[in-house]
Chains A and B, each alone.
Chain A
Amino acid sequence: MTCVLQFPGCRRLGPALPAASLHRVTSAATKAGWLLAIPAVLFLLLCFVAPVAQTLWLGFGARTDAGVMTYGFTFENYRRAFATDLYWRILLRTAKMATWAACVAAIVGFPLAWVVARGRPWLSRLVTLTLVTPLLVNVVVRSYGWSAILSRNGLISWTLGGLGIEDPPSILYTEAAVLIASVHVFLPFMVLPLAGAIARIPPSAEQAATIAGAGPVQRFWRIILPLSLPGLAVGLPLVFSLTAAAYVTPQILGGNFSPLLGTLIQQQVLTLHDWPFGAALSTLLVAMVLAVNLVFIGIVGRRLRRWTAVA
């Protein structure tokens, strides 16, 4: 077990310490660390790894006509998922919705993150609080709240009608409703990492850009936005993954007109009792989210490493 000590700005301190004593201390600390990790590891094995493994396994099983599910090894579920046009479209729609939610959250979240990072302390705290409070409200309650606002007799239509617009459109049970509610729920997962990244932009870089002739617009596009990338690299995949995997919000606000994958899985499992096919769809959903995340992290990560690489 080797241990590398890194003190920012004081790299020479590490090797100066006697190596032998350092080693003793670390190996003891490591042993204690493993012991302390055991409860968490057990918990995760039991409550996360095991169910996920079971779901994976179930996806290769089958359901008899009598409705009894059997474990086995067949690709029938996956064949059905890929062969049926509808499932494909739902998978793509889910990916599209998640992408939209991530992008809209980034656009809406950026000014908020700016205020959190650079605003006056009271304003920064107020915005953070406003962003985080919705997480304290149950997702079902929150979704019904949105449905009240977005419905035909809701706040928005009522306001538009009051402004003299005839026959205002109903937003409820459209993809827009799902998008609005998803962005609202997952906004803190975008804003908080983004605010962290904005706060870490060196003021001297911004000032140097100013002195070199960059106005506010050029500073934003050339310096601030690129240097916010570490925050976007966290926020975008988070919002994407959370939206893609969401079930309650699309169910309540999207209705049956434009189901997403979460709704589809729920139908398979709870309505049609086809657990094996539901498990296969779940696996596809996780695979899709994972693939998008890996590609994104791969692209962004390489770029970010260049900023700090000493090679």
Chain B
Amino acid sequence: MDLEVAPGEMLALLGPSGCGKTTTLRMVAGLIEPSAGEVLIGGRSVLGVPAHKRDLGMLFQAYGLFPHLTVARNVAFGLEMRRVPKAEAAQRVAEALKLVRLDGFAERMPAQLSGGQQQRVALARALVYRPRVLLLDEPFGALDRKLREEMQVELRLLVKRLGLTTIMVTHDQEEALTLADRLAVMEHGALMQVGTGAEVYDRPASRFVADFMGVANLLDGRVAATGAVASLEAAKGVHLLATPIAAPPMQGSLGTVAIRPEAIALLPPDAAEEAGTTTLPGTVEQAIFKGQGLDVWVGTPAGRILARLDRAALAAAPAAGAPCLLRYAASRAILLPRETKPA
């Protein structure tokens, strides 16, 4: 893999557990030595430079606070290592604590703080000495959902204001989309796709990326026709229209059509055909209330498909067992090659 992070950029390494994202981050940190390859920071190789001399900051999922030191001493640790004079250090610690909205907590012990507060102390500890790169290792994995979302927004604002170059690791695509300017999706130690959130979300390069980025409907089959709009035969006589992205798969090869559930409309069984769309007959299996939306699972000849409907636009929830039609526009479905090749 070959990856570059621009100054001030936030990059997320995203992938399932065991894909090598944490290993990659630890190689940047210097906690692991790569068996081959290079790690450059600011254009200079840091291979052979021990971790404590790389001038980095890092957040851990387990926070890694020093339980025997007060909050202030925790934050001051990096400054003490850099032999910053006491008076200046005290001032910078106070500023850092203010930055993470923990002023007034300086003399507490870590055990007296909540999980969110502990991670904010860890953040202050990493920011206080202005590291060259900030590394985040699943930083909010131990927090509950609401707190996690608050912390994400807060962290992004802070990091952007300070202009810190940041590399983060997460298995949560929502966290990656919230925090990062660019996403790097990894699998089995290889880079699958690198791009902005919108690029990776809308135009996943492979079936794996589409699956990982939360595309619920992945319909496998054989490519029947190629062109600006391609066609995939998902089952005998069942053709799905889709837009190929990047290099279109060859005719006759295995392919996958990926459709987001929001792109699918549920129609009564007697609805008329429409050009540029694919219409599939099916039977409603179940409808699940999801707050704002309604998730409807429909059995079709191409497989089970999930449609996410806006409840406001719906008179009544479709009953299980009811026949229906599903329709999506070819422009909103993408055709992917089945094989997952490293990018």
Contact = CB atoms under 8 A, between A and B. Distances in A.
A308 B65 CA distance: 13
A231 to B, nearest CB: 13
B164 interface: no
B81 interface: yes
A210 B31 contact: yes
A309 B65 contact: no
Given A207-B31, A226-B68, A311-B112, A212 B126 contact: yes
Interface stretch (B52-60, B150-158, B186-194, B286-294): B52-60
Interface in B60-75: 60-68
Contacts of A204: 60-64
B14 interface: no
B318 to A, nearest CB: 37
B244 interface: no
A213 B60 contact: no
A15 interface: no
Contacts of A212: 52, 57, 77-78, 81, 125-126, 129
Contacts of B64: 202, 204-208
A199 to B, nearest CB: 15
B122 interface: yes
A183 interface: no
B130 to A, nearest CB: 12
Most buried by B among A209, A303, A310: A209
A308 B55 CA distance: 31
Most buried by A among B52, B65, B135: B52
B81 A214 contact: yes
Contact of B60 (A208, A214, A229): A208
Contacts, number: 89
Nearest to A223: B66
Nearest to A307: B67
A211 B54 CA distance: 8
Contacts of A229: 68
B102 interface: no
Contacts of B65: 205, 208
A233 to B, nearest CB: 12
B80 to A, nearest CB: 8
Contacts of A24: none
B109 interface: yes
A246 B62 CA distance: 45
Provide the main secondary structure of the chain A interface. Answer: helix
Interface in A94-138: none
A307 B62 contact: no
A210 B61 CA distance: 16
Contacts of B53: 213, 215
Nearest to B60: A204
A195 interface: no
Contact of A205 (B29, B31, B57, B66): B66
Interface in B16-52: 29-31, 50-52
B111 interface: yes
A211 B51 contact: yes
A213 B122 contact: no
Contact of B68 (A206, A214, A227): A227
Given A212-B78, A212-B81, A307 B68 contact: yes
A157 B77 CA distance: 49
Contacts of A208: 58, 60, 64-66, 122, 125
B82 interface: yes
A218 B61 CA distance: 23
Interface in B61-117: 61-68, 77-78, 81-82, 109, 111-112
A307 B82 CA distance: 26
Contacts of A306: 68, 109, 111
A309 B68 contact: no
B57 A211 contact: yes
Nearest to A306: B109
A202 B60 CA distance: 11
Interface in A212-234: 212-215, 218, 222-223, 226-227, 229
A310 B66 contact: no
B52 A215 contact: yes
Given A226-B68, A306-B109, A209 B77 contact: yes
Contacts of A227: 66-68
Given A205-B65, A227-B67, 6 more contacts: A204-B62, A208-B58, A211-B57, A223-B66, A227-B68, A309-B112
Interface of B: 29-31, 50-58, 60-68, 77-78, 81-82, 109, 111-112, 122, 125-126, 129, 135
18 contacts: A204-B63, A206-B64, A207-B29, A210-B51, A211-B54, A211-B56, A211-B58, A211-B135, A212-B78, A213-B82, A213-B129, A215-B50, A215-B52, A222-B77, A227-B66, A227-B68, A306-B109, A310-B111
The 10 closest A-B pairs by CB, nearest first: A204-B64, A208-B64, A213-B81, A212-B78, A204-B62, A204-B60, A211-B58, A307-B67, A210-B51, A226-B68
